[in-house]
């Protein structure tokens, strides 16, 4: 993903005639060297939006009225190490979408991405001229920026090339473009974008809630064992809760202490470890014990085996894409919701087998006629 160096320093020699091209060539070589040094510190998982400027809430501001797209704020670094620094003091990037609409309709596409391109070697004059300076000139230059609307079918390579970065997902419906509200652009760190940070906080809160319920389940299992009520069903449920607590305990502190400063893949990794630990525990359980546990979940918690295992498998099957990580994070939140519904109910029950195929429970602190609680899937 790191592009090759394309500009080289000028070989200065005594007596040579210096022209404008020599100065520009040396300047471009310096730009290329700085970009290359920055790009070597990046990976496909660590580029993207940077922390917002002091006093600002977000490093990105993009709007689409259906016919024109406007990017007014963007602080980011591309996979190749090129910096994007666009703020309110500079003219916003505008893109009329009429040509893109015709092209998308011709290709039969309805989804794509708003992509910003940066060219460090096409500097554009910028700044406030000094009226007393002769000749009058703009004092600074910025890289050349360009905003584009790329249909999904045209992406022959990953969403972000060396000098490109997606900043929004575009939807085309009835000839009108709109920005997908749930899209999360690639972020250098979790805490740089409010939407990304909200997913991070939600997952952390859900994991803490699950740990509390799982701890209560373990206490009930061990209390029943000391009172002579231990049985195979309770032992199996206790193993599942212990696996859950162990996984969360091993990861939650790092998640809370440095998660906001890590790449979003750190959040996805936590969720996948959580799903993997529970999946392996269930697979290692003998079939008869697993069947008894799943029957208990279905009869007393309203969570079917298909719902529980599908939620875990969805997380494990999801492919993480740094340029579009929201689907992975959403699947982790869905899994957390299913586990909370299950563990929340289990934490209120005692796990006692009546015989090989029937189970009954002693409810504690529960209403006399509890109403069934629907699962996350509404079944």
- For residues 294 and 172, state if they share a domain: no
Which domain range does residue 351 map to? 191-360
Q: What is the pLDDT of residue 358?
A: 44
**What whole-number distance in Å separates Cα of residue 192 and Cα of residue 40?**
21
Q: Taking 60 as the threshold, does the pLDDT of residue 356 lie above it?
A: no
From 152, 180, 208, the end of a domain falls on 180
Are 324 and 166 in contact by the 8 Å Cβ rule? The answer is yes
Q: Taking 60 as the threshold, does the pLDDT of residue 324 lie above it?
A: yes
Q: Nearest to residue 173, comparing CAs of 215, 256, 112, 82?
A: 112
From 137, 161, 180, the end of a domain falls on 180
Residue reference for tokens 């690639």: 186
Number of domains in the chain: 3
- Per-position DSSP letters for 70-104, written without gaps between them: EEEEEEEE-TTS-EEEE-TTSPPEEEE-HHHHHHH
Q: What is the pLDDT of residue 231?
A: 83
The answer to whether position 58 is within a domain reads: yes
Q: Taking 60 as the threshold, does the pLDDT of residue 357 lie above it?
A: no
- For residues 167 and 235, state if they share a domain: no
- Per-position DSSP letters for 304-368, written without gaps between them: -HHHHHHHHHHHHHPPP-TTS-HHHHHHHHHHHHHHHHHHHHHTT---EESSSS-EE---SS--S
Sheet holding 140-151, edge to edge: 140-151, 111-126, 164-173, 176-179
- For residues 157 and 8, state if they share a domain: no
Global pTM reads 0.87
User: Span 229-233, mean pLDDT?
Assistant: 77
- For residues 11 and 122, state if they share a domain: no
Q: Taking 60 as the threshold, does the pLDDT of residue 268 lie above it?
A: yes
- For residues 247 and 356, state if they share a domain: yes
For 150-162, the pLDDT digits (tens) are 998 776 555 458 8
- For residues 57 and 152, state if they share a domain: yes
The answer to whether position 376 is within a domain reads: no
- For residues 128 and 69, state if they share a domain: yes
From 155, 180, 205, the end of a domain falls on 180
Are 152 and 104 in contact by the 8 Å Cβ rule? The answer is no
Q: Taking 70 as the threshold, does the pLDDT of residue 354 lie above it?
A: no
For 125-135, the pLDDT digits (tens) are 988 899 998 88
- For residues 79 and 216, state if they share a domain: no
- For residues 96 and 117, state if they share a domain: yes
- For residues 86 and 170, state if they share a domain: yes
Q: Taking 60 as the threshold, does the pLDDT of residue 164 lie above it?
A: yes
**What whole-number distance in Å separates Cα of residue 99 and Cα of residue 45?**
33
Torsion angle of the four alpha carbons 360, 361, 363, 368, in this order, in degrees rounded to the nearest 10 = 0
The answer to whether position 18 is within a domain reads: yes
Q: What is the pLDDT of residue 2?
A: 83
List CB contacts of 365: < 8 A, sequence separation 6 or more. 348
Reported as type and span, the H/E element at residue 171 is: strand 164-173
- For residues 92 and 239, state if they share a domain: no
For 28-50, the pLDDT digits (tens) are 999 999 999 999 999 999 999 99
* Integer CA distances (angstroms), 321 to 43, 154, 204, 318, in order: 13, 17, 21, 9
**What whole-number distance in Å separates Cα of residue 359 and Cα of residue 299?**
9
Q: Taking 80 as the threshold, does the pLDDT of residue 371 lie above it?
A: no
User: Span 240-261, mean pLDDT?
Assistant: 96
User: Span 365-375, mean pLDDT?
Assistant: 40
Of all residues in the chain, what percent carry a pLDDT higher than 90?
79
For 60-92, the pLDDT digits (tens) are 999 999 999 999 999 999 999 999 999 988 899
- For residues 207 and 354, state if they share a domain: yes
The answer to whether position 39 is within a domain reads: no
């Amino acid at each position: 993903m790191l592009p090759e160096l394309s500009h080289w320093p000028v070989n200065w020699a005594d007596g040579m005639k210096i022209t404008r091209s020599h100065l520009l060539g040396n300047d471009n070589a310096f730009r290329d060297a700085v970009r290359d040094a920055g790009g070597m510190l990046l990976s496909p998982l660590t580029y993207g939006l940077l922390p917002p400027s002091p006093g600002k809430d977000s490093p990105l501001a993009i709007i689409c009225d259906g016919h024109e797209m406007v990017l007014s704020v963007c602080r980011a670094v591309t996979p190749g190490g090129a910096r994007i620094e666009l703020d309110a003091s500079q003219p916003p990037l505008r893109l009329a979408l009429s040509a893109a609409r015709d092209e998308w309709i011709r290709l039969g596409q309805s989804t794509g991405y708003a992509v910003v391109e940066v060219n460090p070697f096409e500097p554009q004059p910028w700044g406030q001229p000094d009226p007393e300076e002769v000749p009058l000139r703009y004092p600074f230059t910025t890289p050349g920026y360009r905003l584009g609307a790329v249909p999904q079918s045209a992406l022959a390579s990953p969403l972000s090339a060396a000098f490109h970065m997606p900043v929004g997902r575009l939807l085309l419906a009835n000839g009108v473009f709109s920005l997908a509200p749930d899209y999360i652009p690639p972020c250098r760190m979790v805490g740089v974008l409010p939407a990304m940070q909200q997913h991070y906080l939600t997952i952390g809160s859900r994991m803490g809630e699950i740990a509390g319920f799982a701890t209560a389940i373990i206490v009930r299992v061990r209390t029943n064992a000391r009172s002579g009520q231990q049985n195979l069903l309770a032992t199996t449920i206790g193993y599942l809760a212990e696996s859950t607590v162990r996984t969360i305990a091993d990861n939650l502190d790092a998640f809370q202490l440095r998660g906001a400063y890590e790449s979003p893949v750190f959040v996805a990794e936590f969720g996948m470890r959580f799903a993997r630990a529970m999946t392996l525990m269930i697979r290692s359980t003998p079939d008869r014990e697993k069947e008894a546990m799943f029957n208990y979940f279905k009869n007393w918690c309203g969570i079917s085996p298909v719902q529980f295992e599908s939620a875990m498998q969805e997380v494990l099957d999801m492919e993480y894409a740094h340029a579009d990580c929201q689907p992975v994070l959403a699947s982790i939140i869905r899994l957390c919701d299913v586990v909370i519904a299950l563990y929340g109910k289990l934490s209120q029950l005692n796990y006692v087998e009546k015989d090989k195929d029937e189970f009954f429970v002693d409810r504690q602190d529960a209403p006399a006629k509890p109403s069934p609680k629907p699962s996350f899937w509404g079944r």
